[in-house]
Amino acid sequence: MTFKKHLSLFTILLLFLSQTTFSQSLDKPNILWISVEDISPMLEVYGDQSIKTPNIDRLANEGITYTHAYSTVGVCAPSRSSIITGMYPVSIGSHNMRTGPHYAFREPENETYKDYYAQKDIKGRNVPEYATVPPPFVKCFTEYLRAVGYYTSNNAKTDYQFNSPITAWDEIGREATYKNRAAGQPFFAVFNHEITHESRIFMKKEDPMLADKSKVIIPKYFPELPVVRQDVGRAYSNIMELDKQVGDMLRSLEEEGLLDKTIIFFWSDHGGPLLRQKRAVGNSGLHVPLIVRMPNGEMGGSKIDDLVSLMDLGPTVMSLAGVEPPDYMHGRAFLGPHKTKTPNQYAFGSADRFDEAVDMSRSVIDGRYVYIRNFRPELPLIYRNAYREQIDMTRAMIEMDQKGELTGGAAYIFMKTKPVEELYDLQDDPDEINNLADSPEHQAKLKELRNALSAWQLEIGDLGFVPEYDLVNMMWPGMVQPETAPVKFETSGNQLKLSSETEGASIAYQIGEEIGGKHWHLYHQPIPTGKKVAARAVRIGYKTSSISQFEN
């Protein structure tokens, strides 16, 4: 399907959705995301007895637990780009970690980029800061919700590999909340919890330890050392703190009378915070917890074994809101009236540049087996990365490896070069340390997953084969950020129509006394004339247009 046809379909859909009256939208469910960072299924509901998490357990007992949920990338920014767009990062150019200072929303006037920030591509060429530019038909899925009357808020992390368009959220930032919506207006609210992030392993190492270090599970790819138990214990201790935050949120919703009027999603943006977890392309980096609590505890305590990608979250929210996801999205709804009739057969993952480390691997998981294809087999599996080496156990393991002191699973992950292919049976080898790629009895499975991965790469147009310097130049010709064309106004009777010449641009506007404020409406239908209007256009990855004004 062509870009223009996709854009036309989006416009038609917005016009159709705009016919929904506000009174009808009152019947739409509230939807809330508890978005957490850097945890694998390290929870009792998934069989891990290391700690107690009564509030997360409550969510599971009153909700649906998905046992096979996976991120598309084992690190936050590329993963979050897939969540907000419903697209594979390697298909839209957002797969390298990270492209710029996109941790949080910046006002358009503050969106600037450095020409140099010490990153190199595979050919050693300078990679500047940049914003990913997806195809013009790609939108933040929240725009579809705003078009049918939802109040959307994000507190507060974005990290989409591009600055969040002003059309994506009604409210964004540390103070963003659903509480500022109009009376009776349905909401989609995101609350990001950072307590379990990788950085908290070293930032909180002097804090009281809540977990019993002697009882936490140590993966077989870590040596049994006090420093390892300390940092693994810290990861679990941070989850216990997270559990208290989840409890506070549930109590707040109960006190407001919203708990049983709100669909709650609990999920992590990728796997655990430690070595061979975060940034890994196998199960240890991609397998995440996902729990959905429906109003009144519908299907409470149930477990679903279907394969789900975090990329499916946006389409699923749209489906629950009564909006059919557009066909360009790779993600598919797993709940609601537009739930897919064909669950995912596989979950696909990618690993490319992580800060200063350049690599390229791809994976496919069928729920039991993990297949990994390494396109840079000459490189070690555990590469040097300054950020994660702030963790004590990581430095200790590196030193032990240099002295030849690692054995067993720990020695395995410190392999000096990688095999071209890896195959692991998670049923017998949950820690992925016994490569079955050369096993005669596993050749049929190897071939199946190898072919599935190759077909997927061709289908989605894997951009990992494009050196990053060239990729940036494709999206930003001449290494200059493109700018969205300004809004044009056209009157038709007593209505005002807004447009931009930039293909794929969305338009935000303010009316009358709103002009100059921070809140922008999403333009999706003609505006009544009679008041002064200010508007600006933005396409993902482009510089937001200047403000255009119309006065009657």
Catalytic residues: 76
Which DSSP helix (H) or strand (E) runs through 3?
A: helix 3-17
For tokens 């850097």, name the residue.
38
Q: What is each CA distance from 117 to 120, 159, 302, 360, 390, in whole angstroms?
A: 9, 17, 47, 21, 20
For tokens 């009144």, name the residue.
296
Q: What is each CA distance from 345 to 89, 318, 500, in whole angstroms?
A: 19, 22, 40
For tokens 């993990």, name the residue.
370
How far apart, in whole angstroms, are the C-alpha atoms of residue 539 and residue 509? 15
Terminal Cα-to-Cα distance of the chain (whole angstroms): 40
Evaluate whether 284 touches 422 at the Cβ level (below 8 Å). Answer: no
Evaluate whether 271 touches 285 at the Cβ level (below 8 Å). Answer: yes
Tokens representing residue 308 in the block:
């789900």
Q: Count Cβ atoms below 10 Å from residue 65 Cβ, excluding itself.
A: 23
Which DSSP helix (H) or strand (E) runs through 509?
A: strand 506-511
Three-class SS of 439-493:
CHHHHHHHHHHHHHHHHHHHHHCCHHHCCHHHHHHHHCHHHCCCECCCCEEEEEC
Tokens representing residue 475 in the block:
């999206």
- Whether the bond between 452 and the residue before it is cis, its omega within 30 degrees of 0, is no
What angle is formed at CA 32 by the lines to CA 345 and CA 136, rounded to 5 degrees? Answer: 60
Dihedral in degrees, nearest 10, Cα atoms 98, 103, 109, 115: -20
Residue (of 320, 18, 305, 33) closest to 152 by Cα position: 33
Burial class (CB in 10 A: 0-12, 13-18, 19+), 104: middle
Q: In what order do the strands lie in the sheet with 361-365?
A: 347-351, 361-365, 369-374, 421-425
For tokens 């046992």, name the residue.
67
Alpha carbon 181 to its chain's center: 25
How far apart, in whole angstroms, are the C-alpha atoms of residue 81 and residue 91? 11
Tokens representing residue 445 in the block:
């499975």
Evaluate whether 302 touches 295 at the Cβ level (below 8 Å). Answer: no
b/e per residue 172-206 (b: at least 16 CB within 10 A): beeebebeebeeebbbbbbbbbebbbbebbbeeee
